[in-house]
Amino acid sequence: MSNNTSMATLVGALVGAGAYGPATSAAAVASVPLRAPLQAISQIQHARVEIYCGHNAQAVADIRAASQQLRSAGRAPSLALAMLGEAAWLARQNQYERAAQALEAALLQIDAA
């Protein structure tokens, strides 16, 4: 964001990013770290915010880092990795809504594993 962005606009964007797409229940988020690295989940959630804000390069970097975290932990459902790859590709193509949906699908796959 630019340096002249007001704090209210920034807070509004962050609040809006949290509401972007279907919400993940608190119980689902709480159960995910037991099966997947907390850092990977955090990076996926941060990527959702970056996609919402139009920061494609940072979103793709977060998605790649999350994928690597999941692979290195040996807890990477193949469908979740595929959805993360799709989300990165969609973010590079400026298809924000579909990218956010792919991230949500990846989180659901991670939770189901």
Within a domain: 42: yes
- Indicate whether 14 belongs to any domain: no
Residue 71, pLDDT > 80, answer yes
Q: So what's the pLDDT on residue 38?
A: 85
Does some domain include residue 6? no
33-62 mean pLDDT: 87
Kindly give the residue spans of alpha helices, DSSP state H, lying in 1-112: 7-18, 26-35, 38-53, 56-73, 78-92, 96-112
Number of domains in the chain: 1
- CATH code of the domain in which 100 resides: 1.20.120
For residue 33, is pLDDT > 50? no
Assess if residue 8 is contained within a domain: no
pLDDT band at 48 (very low <50, low <70, confident <90, very high): very high
Q: With 70 as the cut, is the pLDDT of residue 25 above it?
A: no
Contact 78, 112 (CB under 8 A): no
List, in order, residues 6 or more apart from 27 with CB less than 8 Å away.
Answer: none
Would residue 36 count as lying in a domain? yes
In a domain, residue 21? The reply is: no
Q: What pLDDT is stored for residue 87 in this prediction?
A: 97
Give the chain's mean pLDDT.
Answer: 80
Residue 51 lies in a domain: yes
**In-domain check, residue 18:** no
- Domain interval for residue 39: 32-112
CA pair distance 15, 56, nearest whole angstrom: 19
> Is the predicted pLDDT of residue 103 greater than 90, yes or no?
yes
pTM, two decimal places? 0.67
